[in-house]
Amino acid sequence: MLSLNRRFMLLAPLALAACGFEPVYGPGGSGTALQNRVAVDPPGSQDSYLLVRGLETRLGRSTDPAYALSMVINTSEAQLAIDREGDTGRFNRIASVQYSLRSLANGQILTSGKVENFVGYSATGTTVETLAGEQAAQERLMNIMADQIVSRLYAADIPA
């Protein structure tokens, strides 16, 4: 059994190479094309601040950008778990972000798209607990959106 595991470990890189696997941050990978080269539009709201912070954490903050990332954020809130008295016990915070990455050299849009997701939080505690839950949900949601946008950017065919 032990020798089977060793053989598998030795053959696994060959199997990955055969399927076209390419590391994102490897030479010529899509991560190196974007790392520290994207200028994200400045934030204008709490949601956009959190999203820009998440994107800059993942992509780096550029001093000499080659690309510009523009976003339009739409958020809403849905009430869930309403009791007999009409009190809401749970909320969903919903967001959709339309984004576009353009080249600063020629202004051409290289990729664009829309990502959507939601998070929930409880409103059954005190006012302070509910407010803290709402703020944590907002931050979680914008982190999820940043992850989704970066994943889509890495999957796009961006010239290095």
Question: Taking 60 as the threshold, does the pLDDT of residue 1 lie above it?
Answer: no
Helix residue ranges, H only, 43-126: 46-59
Question: What is the enclosing helix (H) or strand (E) of 95?
Answer: strand 88-103
- The predicted-structure confidence for 85-119, as pLDDT tens digits, reads as follows 777 778 889 999 999 999 999 999 999 999 999 99
- What is this structure's pTM? 0.78
CA neighbours closer than 13 Å in the CB half-sphere of residue 3? 0
Instruction: Please state, in angstroms and rounded to a whole number, the distance separating the CA atoms of residues 72 and 100.
Output: 9
pLDDT greater than 60 at residue 25: no
Whole-Å CA distances, 87 to 2, 76, 80, 136, 145: 59, 19, 10, 21, 29
Residue 92: φ, ψ to 5°: -110, 130
Token pair recorded at residue 159: 């010239």
Nearest-CA neighbor of 47 among 127, 123, 119?
119
84 vs 93 pLDDT, higher one: 93
Domains of the chain: 2-155 (3.30.160.150)
pLDDT value of position 56: 95
The Cα–Cα gap between 84 and 113 comes to 41
Res 20: pLDDT: 59
